[in-house]
Amino acid sequence: MIVAILFAICVFPASATVEPESTGTPRLDIVFDDSGMTPMLLDHEEYSPATVQISNAGEYDLSATVAGIRLRGNRTAEFPKKPMRIKFDKKQSLFGREKAKSWVLLANFCDSSALRNYLAYRLYAHLATPGNYAAFTQFVEVFVNGDYYGLYLLTDQIETGNGRVEAAELDEASPENTGYLLENDWGASGEGAEGIAWFSVTGFEGQPFAVKSPDPDDGIPTGHVAYIKDYVTQCYAAAKAGDWALVQELIDTESAINYYMVHDIFQNTDTGYGNVYMSKNAGGKLKFGPIWDFDLTAGNQSNAFGPYGWDPERYFNAERRDYFFAALMKIPEFYNQYRTAYVSRAEEIKQFLHDETDAAVAAYGSSFARDFAKWEISRQLNDPCYLPSVRVYLTPQAQRTYMLNWLDTHIDWQAKLYPTRAIGDVAPVQDLTLPGLTWKKTFLNWLLYYFCFGFIWMKNVSPIL
């Protein structure tokens, strides 16, 4: 590890100062009213007044427009490259999207490839059926007060509205005629009063549901929260009971399949733990999605299995289980639909991920390199989630190759596993099989895994040193 960091310091200038020449990527300028304000000083709640301008985007250029900027995210907000939320004074259309006030700039600090969120969101949009919203994605180079700050992924704020999650507005007289957006998240209980801002469902231990829409801050009748709590409770009870007819009546099962397939493919360790969005429109079924937060996936998370292992029942930690998925996968009809969809689309999905990566590199390759040069040393020294074995890949291309090889291997492994796996068998994989090796899950072997896995995988990527 020390050798890798010293090599990085030799390769990349410590100051990471970069001249702001155009790379061809759209440029987003943030100019704070207070010239002393920087992203490092942003607050999590209060917006700092600024103007936002987009250039080098052709017909989507945006002249300097009044907005507020604040810090966003939980753990990601602790890192040097700050994720940010933009809130315009008036609704704006960015890159042809429906007008909205709120937009998000994802920093992707933990992901040296800068592609995991992008690819996951693109894949989800590719799989999603009509009527199931998928977040917009656009790479932009962010400049703050005239200084280059890094490559960001501009995307939607997850909320209801035109062009976003479809949900009918609050009907104070009728819970049934109101649309709802929920987030199943471990931290939901800290968002306000129970029964208004969040609720619990029996069986989801430590996993409350935050009410995102209607907005509790605007006033939502407690009867509406009780209604949606009861509906989610019915959905989970039907899944636990294996009542396929009732599950189909209450849940949009196709949305569940597409939602979990992306989590399964990328091995997202937050599945069922945080950022699990669901919605129910007036008169509609419970839908899963959109997906969110995939920077620490696809071989880039320190508490995950390798590409040959995955446990939809949340490994060994009962407090981090994806209760819905575990219950649904024990229903023969759902399980057969899920594994048929996965196996039949595996090759298509692999090709899609490679094609999207190639297209992104062709369009933004210089921007990936510039961001890597600015932030990689800081990432190596600051990111506690960064899987040690991933650190050895010291160029953007090597990071991308590692990621794609990991995804190919994992998808192939899953596609071979599902046809032979018994219905409802979502128990942990007891052995972790690597090329030529079988690892038993003991403390010492996991230590060896964390430090040696990257070097084993170097056999499967282009040499970079």
pLDDT (tens digit, 9 = 90+) per residue, 105-116? 999 998 999 999
How many whole angstroms separate alpha carbon 78 and alpha carbon 30? 20
Whole-number pLDDT of residue 460: 37
For β-strands 137-144 and 84-92, DSSP reports them as unpaired
Query: Which of 237, 238, 284, 291 shows the shortest CA–CA distance to 264?
Result: 291
Does this model's pTM top 0.75?
yes
Tell whether the model's pLDDT for residue 317 goes beyond 80: no
Residue with tokens 């899609």: 352
How many whole angstroms separate alpha carbon 365 and alpha carbon 4? 23
* Confidence tier at 181 by pLDDT (50, 70, 90): very high
User: For the chain, percent helix, then strand, then coil, each to nearest 5?
Assistant: 40, 20, 40
In sequence order, what are the beta bridge partners of 106? 153
In sequence order, what are the beta bridge partners of 139? 153
Tell whether the model's pLDDT for residue 427 goes beyond 50: no
Which tokens in the block code for residue 152? 């960001």
Whether residue 128 contacts residue 15, with contact meaning beta carbons closer than 8 Å, is answered with no
Whole-number pLDDT of residue 389: 64
Whether residue 326 contacts residue 427, with contact meaning beta carbons closer than 8 Å, is answered with no
How many whole angstroms separate alpha carbon 238 and alpha carbon 364? 46
Tell whether the model's pLDDT for residue 459 goes beyond 60: no
Whether residue 214 contacts residue 170, with contact meaning beta carbons closer than 8 Å, is answered with yes
Tell whether the model's pLDDT for residue 401 goes beyond 70: yes
The CA radius of gyration of the chain, in Å to the nearest whole number, is: 22
Whole-number pLDDT of residue 22: 81
Sign of CA dihedral 360, 293, 76, 295: negative
Residue with tokens 């190919």: 408
Q: DSSP strand E in 207-273: where?
A: 209-213
> Residue 170, SS3?
coil
pLDDT in tens, 38-94: 999 999 999 999 999 999 999 999 999 999 999 998 778 888 999 999 999 999 999
* H or E stretch at 256: helix 253-266
Whether residue 211 contacts residue 182, with contact meaning beta carbons closer than 8 Å, is answered with yes
Whole-number pLDDT of residue 183: 94
